[in-house]
A = this chain, B = another copy of it.
Amino acid sequence: MRPTITAFESSPDRGRGLARDTRVRWALEEVGQAYDVRLVSFAEMKEPAHLALHPFGQIPTYQEGELALFESGAIIFHIAERHQGLLPVEAAPRARAIGWMFAALNTVEPPIVEREQAGYAERDRDWHQKRLPLLDERVRVRLGQFAARLGQADWLDGAFSAGDLTMVSVLQRLKGSALIAEFPALAAYVARAEARPAFQRAFAAQLAVFTGGQAGG
């Protein structure tokens, strides 16, 4: 059954691919599942109809027949579980790949979002400049630990998995910051993932919303 996801009608990142629908589009493209997109405005996201789908008033949501999901990590996991290609079949590598999804979302992403959020929510506060080195350092610690684990490997654990997809999506939030450039192996890891045809298609589809092209995939 062809699923429908939601995405920003007007993405605050202006099509840079950082809104969380991109991760879901990417997962769908990796497994070859066509999908529809319903665009929502910021006003609509706070209305009861959308809150019934997403209690925190965000995007993306995912609808597939009677099933309604929210939270990009959960949606990526659902797609990975229902199709071949994003999770190893064998139990132990599968559990480890799922582990990397949780690590990306609960250990690596929070300091990155905190730093990003300070950049728009606290930019005009007198403490912002003084706090920046502290925010950078929190991110740097996680990047250093992650780079040490990744080493010279192409992907986290053998073949590309939903763990890599989620981790790369988190690291992409650092694009344009000097932090990711401090870790060339991580910059190369992100670039390697972005070269995948499935990512290219997902990126083009989300950009088309901003430039006025076709939103579906």
Distance from A52 Cβ to chain B, minimum over Cβ atoms (Å) = 9
Q: Can you add 4 more A-B contacts, CB < 8 Å, to A55-B149, A73-B106, A75-B99?
A: A67-B91, A69-B99, A74-B95, A78-B95
Taking residues whose C-beta sits less than 8 angstroms from the other chain, chain A's interface range is 35 or more
Chain B residues near A102 (CB, 8 Å)? 71-74, 77, 105
Asked if A181 is an interface residue, CB under 8 A from chain B, the answer is no
* Interfacial residues of chain A within 142-159, with CB under 8 A of chain B in the complex: 142, 145-146, 148-149
Distance from A69 Cβ to chain B, minimum over Cβ atoms (Å) = 5
Asked if A127 is an interface residue, CB under 8 A from chain B, the answer is yes
Task: Give me the 7 closest cross-chain CB pairs, A-B, nearest first.
Answer: A127-B127, A74-B99, A55-B149, A73-B102, A110-B110, A74-B102, A105-B106
B145 with A55: CB separation less than 8 A: yes
